[in-house]
Structure formats: structure tokens, C-alpha cells
Amino acid sequence: MRKILITNDDGVKSKGISQLIDMMRPYGEIIVVAPFEAQSGMSAALTIGKPLRLTELRSDVGLKVYACSGTPADCVKMAMNQIFVGKLPDLLVSGINHGSNASIASLYSGTLGATAEGTVYGIPSIGLSICSHNPDADLTGVVVYGKKIIDYFFKNPFKSDTFLNVNFPNIKPEEIKGIKFAHQGKGQWIKEFVQREDPYGFKYYWMTGEFFNLEPDNDSSDNNVVEAGYVSIVPHKIDTTDYDELKRLESIWKL
């Protein structure tokens, strides 16, 4: 039987991970290792200098759930060092994340930090996100189209050094137009902080932000694909080397 590792960055009690567990149970034995609390924006951060705790919350036939006190990447490391000793899971799925991980958000995402960590271990890894921060968002579309993507994966796996970033529009399944492969969109966050004042009169800053699309007319960028009502799939690589620029710099920088 297949063994499937599930994690996320919204915490082990989130609606997204509960829905993901139900979605993935027909595919094999499920082992969940997820953060005790929300760890959004952690990217591939690791906990260093303080202890990690791993607590078993549930043990049923075909399903075990653990909570980890660390980041999403910590969760993957704990799973590989304490649970999957000597054998890789057949698949890692991270999510279902509440909030878009398209465009520049993929750089900061704890959801994708977990998939990157899984890929480092050689585990095929997929991150699933819905473009809504509502903790009670309707995830039916993710489940319907997510199953199609998982089915395709088991028939035709992707390369071992690649993980998939899948983003779903926040609409009903019947309104989703289909699935499209895309590239990471160009965008940036602006107006990132709101200045406030505490009860003692001292200034502090609360992160907020507004997304600015740098290529609004590009039909193949992931954020535009999702905005148009499609599910977007972007393959990401662990090796971030720009090989063309490497060759160019080697030819002109006479070091």
C-alpha cells in the first residue's frame, strides 16, 4: 500500500488539512505531521537552538496524525527522521493552504517550504492552495480537481528534483474552467506595513500588504491563470541556478 505524508503551514487543526486527509485516504496509508499552530510565511525555515516536540494526536487504521512544534520544513524533517526511517513516502502533499501561493507568494510560503524539503529528500511533493484566506472556505473545487491532479501524478510522475505548486480559484467546482500549466507570475507586495500606536504611545508596525501584478496581460502567469478561473500548476526546481547568466558572467568577469 502507498504511504502518503501530509503536512501544511496553517496548523494541524485547520479545515484545509482535514479536507486534504479525506481527499487522500483512497490513495493509501496517510501519515500527517503538521505544525501545532499556524506557520504561514515561514518558507523553508528551520527551528534551531530550541527543542522540537512531536506529539501523536490520532492513530486509526490507515491514518496517523502527529503535531510538531516547529515549522513546515521541520515537520518534514521530523517525519523522515522519526517515522519514515529507511523508506521514503510515495508522495508528500502540503495543504490545503488557505491563501494564494501564486507569483511572489511562492517565495515566502511555508506550504511550499515543506514541498521543497520533501523534494530534497527525494519525495515527490505537491503543494495545494486556494485563493482565499477564509478559514472556512469552500474547498470542494480543490478536492474535485485535486483528485484529477493526483490521478495524473500516479500515472505519469514528474521529475525527482521538481515539486508542483498548485493554486485553485475560490469558486465553485462547476465554475472552474479547467487546469492549466503556468509559470511563476511576476509581482510584488506594496504598502506592506500599517503603522500603529500601542497603549503606551510607542509606534509599531503590522504587516498587511497589497499585491501588485507586474504582468497583468500575461496569460501564462500563474496568478493570471487563477484569476481567469483555472487551476494553475507550476513546476518548481530545487536548483535555482541561472545557468545562462552563469555562462555569461563567466565569459565577461575575468576573475
- What are the average pLDDT values for consecutive 10-residue runs of the chain, which has 255 residues? 96 97 97 96 95 96 97 98 93 97 95 98 97 95 98 95 97 97 93 92 91 93 97 97 96 92
**The three three-digit cell numbers of residue 173, written as one number:** 467546482
According to DSSP, the residues that pair with 66 across neighbouring strands are: 33, 56
Largest CA distance in the chain: 63
Q: What pLDDT is attached to residue 211? A: 87
CA nearest to 222, candidates 167, 163, 175: 167
Q: For 194, which DSSP code? A: E
Instruction: Determine the distance from the C-alpha atom of residue 221 to the mean position of all C-alpha atoms in its chain, rounded to a whole number.
Output: 18
- Decide if 246 contacts 177 (C-beta within 8 A): no
Cα angle at 65 between 112 and 49, to 5 degrees? 60
Instruction: Determine the distance from the C-alpha atom of residue 37 to the mean position of all C-alpha atoms in its chain, rounded to a whole number.
Output: 16
What class, spelled out in words, does domain 3-185+216-252 have in CATH? alpha beta
Cα angle at 24 between 23 and 25, to 5 degrees? 100
Q: How many residues does the chain have?
A: 255
Q: What pLDDT is attached to residue 147? A: 98
According to DSSP, the residues that pair with 35 across neighbouring strands are: 68
CA nearest to 42, candidates 120, 112, 133: 112
Q: What pLDDT is attached to residue 85? A: 87
